[in-house]
Amino acid sequence: MRLIDIEVNTAVEIVSFEGGKGISSKLRRLGLMPGDQIIIIKRAPFRGPLLVDANGRSVALGRGVAAKIEVSLCE
């Protein structure tokens, strides 16, 4: 499933990135790596960005980027 499809306050683990080196590089610079657990804190209205908690930091991700992040639910 994709990060864009996850509800607010749900813990997920990043499985992989789709979209080539550009998106992978951008997410790694933001400190997001496969295996990291993240939680969606807030969804901005009107198709705005998602605010996620990643390793204790808040990171804003556009919906296009969030659609390219493959995640799995944490148990």
- Residue 20: give its domain's CATH number: 2.30.30.90
Q: Which residues contact 58 (CB under 8 A, 6 or more apart)?
A: 41, 51, 52
Would you state the pLDDT for residue 20? 81
Domain that includes residue 48, residue range: 3-73
Span 26-61, pLDDT tens digits: 999 988 999 999 999 999 988 899 999 998 999 999
User: pTM for the full model?
Assistant: 0.88
Total domains in the chain come to 1
Output the pLDDT for position 74. Answer: 86
Distance (Å, whole) CA 43 – CA 53: 12
